[in-house]
Amino acid sequence: MPNIPKEGSRTNPFFVDLYRQAAELAKGLEAREHTAQVSYDFREDREQRFREGRLPVLYCSPTMELGVDIAELNCVNMRNVPPTPANYAQRSGRAGRSGQPALIMTYCAQGNSHDQHFFSRPEQMVAGAVSTPKVDLANEDLIRSHIHAVWLAETRLDLGKSLKDILDVSGHSPSLELLDRVKDAISADLPKEKAEQKIASILEALKDDLRLSEWYSENWIREVLNQVGQNFERACDRWRNLYQGAVTQRDRQTEIINDASRSRTDRENARRLRAEAESQIELLLQASSTLQADFYSYRYFASEGFLPGYNFPRLPLSAFIPARSRRSARDRDEFVSRPRFLAISEFGPGSFLYHEGSRYVINRVIVAVEESDELASGRIKQCLKCGYIHPVDNGDGIDLCEICNTPLDTPLSNLFRLRNVSTKRRDRINSDEEERTRYGYNLRTGFRFSERGKTASHHIAEVTSATGELMARLKYGHGATIWRINLGWKNRPRTAPHGFMLDTERGVWVREKTENQAEDNLSGFSTGRIQRVVPYVEDRKNCLVIEPATALDQTIMASLQAVFKESIQRLYQLEDYELAVEPLPTPDERNVILLYEAAEGGAGVLRRLIDENQALNEVARCALDLCHFNPDDGTDLGKAPGAKEECAAACYQCLMNYSNQRDHALLDRHLIRDFLLHLSHAQVKTAPGEVPRAEHLRRLKNNTDSQLERDWLDYMDARNLRLPSRAQVFIEECRTRTDFFYDAYHTAIYIDGPHHQYPDRATRDHVQSECLEDLGYSIIRFEDKSRWDRIIDEYPHVFGSTE
C-alpha cells in the first residue's frame, strides 16, 4: 500500500484480548462444516443434530442459503457482508422462521472494500432493493444445454442412477460403450423432429436477443440436434476416463502384488493403491439413492454442460480423497470437484487440499493406459503484447499476432490439459513446502476469440474524449476461450524451465531436484517415462478487452483494473465471483485489461459497455465515487462516507480488496482521476464487425451508389448510431439490392431519392418489400431528409439511441 507508516500496522487489541481470554470459553464447543463439498448424508445428519441442539454451531457456505429450513434457528452470524441484498435477505431469512425473535449479526471486515462500503451504507444492504437476476439469454452453451434437455425428454430415455446404467461395464476390461438401447434412443429421428418443433416455439421469445448474436442462424437448431449423439458420447468421457484410470491402477497394482520378486514394501504400497482404485470404481458405479451424489446421472450430465445446471460448475475437475481410516462407516472415500479455473491452482502438482479437517497433497493425475502416450502434445504461441493465444498445429504456425500484429515469440510446448487428480493424506509439511505453497504458482492467462470461418469473431469500439481524442479501444468477444496456464512454482529460479515433471506411465508428479526447493510432497520414484509438462485449463466466457490508446504506467493500469471490476459489479449488482479481471500479457507487463463474465451462463453486462451509449460513462462515474471523488467535477472528497481516516492513495473502501493484495503497492486513486473524469464524458463508437468504426465507415462508403447514401452514413456516424453491417446486399429471391443491411436484425435499409416517388418505381418498391417481408426480413425506408430523425426514433432496437 502506498504511504504505509514506517512502523507498520498496529496490533488490533480486540483480537489480542479475544485470543487471551474469550477463546478459553470455546473449549469443548463442537462446530461442523455445512458446504457443498460435504456429502449429502453428512449434511443431513448435521442439520438434524443442529435442530436437536446436539450440534450447537454450523459453519456454512451458501448451501444454507439454498432452501435449508430449520425452524428453530434464532441466530445467524455472517462473517462477511453478502454480495448482494438478495443474498442478505436469503441468509438472514434462515432465522426466525417459526415466529420467534431473531438476531442477525454481520461482521464487516476491515480489510475488505465490499464490507466497508456497506458498513458505511448499511441501508443499501439491509433494506436495499433486490435487483433482477442477470443472465445472458443469448449464451450459446446455455441454449444448447436446454435443447439437449428438450430432446432427452422426447426420447424418453431413462439415464438411471449411475452411468453404469447406460454404459457397458461388463467384463474385466469393459468397452464402456453406450448400451444398445441407448444407441437406438439417441439415433432415432422422430424425437429430434419433435424437439425441433418445440424448441423453435420456445426460442421465439428470445428472437431479439438471438439476432444480436454472431453464432445463431436459421439452421442452428437442426445442427445442434444432428450433433446431439456425438455430444452425448463426449459428455460421458470424464466418467470413462476416471473409470479407465481406476481400472488401470487396479490391474497394475495386482501385477506388483503377484510378483514375488518385488520387495515387501512395494507389495504393501501396491495393496494400498489397489484398494484405492477399487474404492474409486465403487464410487463411480454405486447406484446412490440420493440425487445429490456427484455421479448421479442427471447431475453428472449437468456438470458436463450437456444438460442445464445452475447450482454447480460446468465441466469441473475432480480430486479423489481417500478415507482417513477404515474403522468407521462414516470414514469413506470421496471425490470433490472444483471449477476448472480454480482447479488449475488448487489441484496443481504438490498442492495441499484441506477437507473435513485433514490435509491432503495432490500427488497423481488419473490417467488411462491409452492416454499416457499423448498426454502433453499441445503447443501455442501467446502474444507478448496483448496476451492473445494462437494454437500451433503444424510447424511454428503464425508469426504475427492476429489481433495486434506484434511478432510472436517461440511456441510454448508440452501443454497438458489438466485432468482429474488423486490425493494422499499428509499429517505434516516441512518449512520449505509451507514457504513454496505460500507463494503459489505462476499462472498465466490468455484469450482467443471464437471464430466464424477462419477469422476471429469480435466487436471493436473506440472510446473518444469530449475533445475527440482517442482514449482506448474496446474488444468484445462472445463466448471467447479463456486459458489459464500453470507455468510452475512462483519462487522457482528464473532460469528454470516452465512446468512440472510427470511420470506419464503412472500419472505421478515426480520430484525435481533444485538448489532452493525440496519437493518432499512429490514422489522420488519413477518408472523412467518422465516428461516435463505445462498444465492448463480453458473455458468459454464473454470477455471485454480494454486497451488504452497510449501506454500507461503500471500503477495506473493496476488501479484502473481494480476500479473497473469493482464499479461494474456495484453498478450492475453482480456478485464478486460473477466478474473476473486479469492484466495481460502478465502482471509484470500490463498492456491491456481483460474482463470476463466468470459465472455459468454469463451476466450479459460486458456487451452493454459497447452497445449502450451511456453505459461506460455510468461506470466511470461510479468509479469516481468509489475513489472518493465528486463524479461531477472530480473534487477530492478525501475519504469514504463515514470513514474516520483520510485515504492517501488507496484503501479498503476504494481500490484495495482481499483478492488484489499482490497489487496493493501499486494502487493509487489519484493517478486515475483525470482518466476517469474524461471517461465519464467520453463517447463509445462501436463497429458491427472486427475492424474499427472509422475503417468500417470507409468501407461502407466505398460500396455506396449515391451521395445521398453517403450523407445518410455521415448522419448516422455523427450521432454515434449503429452503422449497418454491409452495403449493396443483393437478395436473389426478391431480385432487389438493398442500400444497406443490418445482419443482427435481418433489416434491409433503403435510402430513397426523389425518383422513387414515380408510380412505376413505387409499385416495384412495394412488390419487393412484400417479398422481403415474406422471407422474414424487416424493411426501413428513408425518404425525406427532414424525417430521418423521426424514422430512427421509431427503431431504437436497430439503430440505437442518441440519449
Q: What is the pLDDT of residues 237-247, one digit of tens each?
A: 889 988 988 89
Which of 322, 484, 355 minimizes the C-alpha distance to 418?
484
The DSSP bridge partners found for residue 456 are 451
State the pLDDT at residue 517. 46
Residues 78, 52, 19, 431: what is their CA dihedral angle, to the nearest 10 degrees?
-90
Which of 676, 488, 447 minimizes the C-alpha distance to 582?
447
DSSP string, 411-475: PEEEEEE---EEEEE-S---HHHHHHHHH-EEEEEEEE--EETTEE--EEEEEE-TTS-EEEEEE
Phi, psi of 390 (to 5 degrees): -125, 105
SS3 316: coil
> Regarding the domain with residue range 13-126, which homologous superfamily does it belong to in the CATH classification?
P-loop containing nucleotide triphosphate hydrolases (3.40.50.300)
State the pLDDT at residue 291. 45
State the pLDDT at residue 604. 79
* pTM score above 0.75: no
Question: How far is the first Cα of the chain from the last one, in angstroms, to the nearest whole number?
Answer: 40
State the pLDDT at residue 492. 80
Amino acid at position 326, single letter? R
The CATH classification number of 692-799 equals: 3.40.960
State the pLDDT at residue 611. 83
State the pLDDT at residue 430. 58
Profile the chain (803 residues) by mean pLDDT over runs of 10 residues: 54 77 74 77 83 82 61 80 80 74 85 74 76 72 91 94 91 90 93 93 85 76 89 90 87 89 86 84 70 74 84 76 66 80 90 80 77 66 93 74 90 88 76 61 92 68 91 91 92 85 84 54 60 91 94 96 94 85 94 90 82 90 95 92 86 83 91 96 84 87 91 91 90 91 86 78 86 86 88 84 64
State the pLDDT at residue 376. 61
State the pLDDT at residue 93. 77
Domain ranges of the chain: 13-126, 140-308, 313-443+488-532, 692-799
Fold identical between 13-126 and 692-799? no
State the pLDDT at residue 190. 95
- Distance, in Å, from the CA atom of 677 to the CA atom of 191, rounded to the nearest integer, reads 57
Residues 6+ apart with CB under 8 A from 231: 148, 306
State the pLDDT at residue 711. 93
State the pLDDT at residue 289. 47
Residues 6+ apart with CB under 8 A from 621: 631, 680
Residue 576 CB coordination number (10 Å): 16
